[in-house]
Amino acid sequence: MLATLIAIFCAGYLLIALEHKIGINKSAVALLMCGALWAIFSLAGHDPQIGAQLTAQLGSTCEILVYLIGAMTIVDLIDTHGGFNVITSRIRTRSKRRLLWLLVVITFFMSAVLDNMTTAIIMIMLLRRIIDDRRERWIFAALIVAAANSGGAWSPIGDVTTIMLWMRGNVTAGPLMYGLLLPSLVSVAVPTAIAMRYVSRGETAAATQSAEPAAAPLPQGVDSRMSHTILVTGVAGLLFVPVFKELTGLPPYMGMIIALGANWALTEILYDRKRDMEESIQNRVSKVVKHIDMPTILFFLGILMAVGVLQSAGILTGMAQWFDKHLHEPYAIAGLIGILSSVVDNVPLVAACMGMYPVADAATAAASADPAFMQGFVTDGLFWHLLSYCAGVGGSLLIIGSAAGVVAMGLEKIEFGWYLRKISPLVLAGYLAGMLAIWLQHLAGL
């Protein structure tokens, strides 16, 4: 049964990768793969607990989908009211190459506070207002994905995997940020520097001949005050989510539900005050939500539920145990986990590693047969920092390797093969350079 599940999963991913060659939407493939995997798992196992496992996997998947729908709605709400024009009009650089660095740096630090998926949505929606050429915009979007994933790796609230490690005591906030900030910066600086050769020396679409960039026109019936209000409240709502989680301990999607509800109510109040505004040009949430990219949502549903089968069947845990037996080296184990996270969701991979390697105390590590190896598994040990870095940054190796990548793929219709040829080698160079930075820091005792 396990071999059949792995074969179907690999075949499904191959079809997803060849979407533009075979002409079948990746969402359809992901849903079919998900259904086939769960059906085979149920028929072969005859375990009465499979129903409970399916429900549990669906629950955790729906948490992500609810979060994604809320984030996409808020960002679309800001965009349809011209909110991102405020940011665009304040970008002073006309050089596309300088713009690339500017967007990468902003994305990197934003994703340390917001999740990488939300940050990628915001920046790609902004990018659409600046870069006209579709292929060149793909370069920018791909580097935004890399920056979002790298930015989330060094912050305890920047990514789901770092949140898991932080909440369960594998890492603490200060040492994690101190230890991974520089390697994470290196991991995105290297591919950005190499990608400069793909970007022309011309000006952006937003550049003009005047000294001050001209502001893009606002949508009909929307004044600057309303646009600014929706921008501020929308961004505040997104920033509210991690704060809400820290204060209440509730999962992030609950904070997103509150943020979306607040922005919805505010928008209704603002439009109710515009009594003379025609209803056909009003962009209320009830209208904006219809623009949500449902194929991307369904693709995410299929992929996460398919990965859930591999987790329930014990395949992911078996892979982690194989690493420990045959490699027994923190850099090699975490490095391969990072590469796998470009294909398999990093959350179950990290969860499998956390289950296999419980946090060791200093005395136990010192008394073990291999104390140097076990020292990496104490709180804030080398392995946990490596795992946080590799699982986060490794998701950029393939466009389908992270939530940010999946969203970018859906919004910009980035081709899997193009990303694999043009971007993956650059990201791999940054990934290895960041691991080298961790090794040098560890060698220096930093």
Residues making up the chain, counted from first to last: 446
Cβ partners under 8 Å of residue 55, min gap 6: none
Domain presence at residue 50: no
Question: Residue 96, Cβ neighbours under 10 Å: how many?
Answer: 22
pLDDT in tens, 309-348: 887 888 877 776 777 677 778 898 889 888 888 877 676 6
Residue 199 and residue 377: Cα distance in Å, rounded?
43
Confidence bin at 21 (pLDDT 50/70/90): confident
Confidence bin at 202 (pLDDT 50/70/90): low
Q: What pLDDT is recorded for position 446?
A: 67
4-13, 47-56, 211-220, 384-393 — most confident range: 384-393
Residue 415 and residue 181: Cα distance in Å, rounded?
31
Domain presence at residue 251: yes
Pair of tokens at residue 47: 């375990």
State the angle between helix axes of 424-443 and 134-153 in degrees (0 to 180), rounded to the nearest 10.
Answer: 20
Domain presence at residue 254: yes
Helix (H, G, I), strand (E, B) or coil at 360: strand
Cβ partners under 8 Å of residue 379, min gap 6: 169, 170, 171, 172, 359
Domain presence at residue 434: no
Does the structure show a pLDDT above 60 at 216?
no
Pair of tokens at residue 308: 């859930």
Domain presence at residue 280: yes
Q: What pLDDT is recorded for position 408?
A: 86
Domain presence at residue 226: yes
**Full residue range of the structural domain in which residue 280 is found:** 64-158+201-207+217-293
Q: Tell me the mean pLDDT in the region 381-385.
A: 90
Query: In 178-264, where do the E strands start and end?
Result: none
Domain presence at residue 91: yes
- Total of domains in the chain: 1
C-alpha gyration radius of the chain: 22
Domain presence at residue 243: yes
Would you say the pTM of this structure is higher than 0.75?
A: no
Q: Tell me the mean pLDDT in the region 264-283.
A: 80
258-267, 328-337, 347-356 — most confident range: 258-267
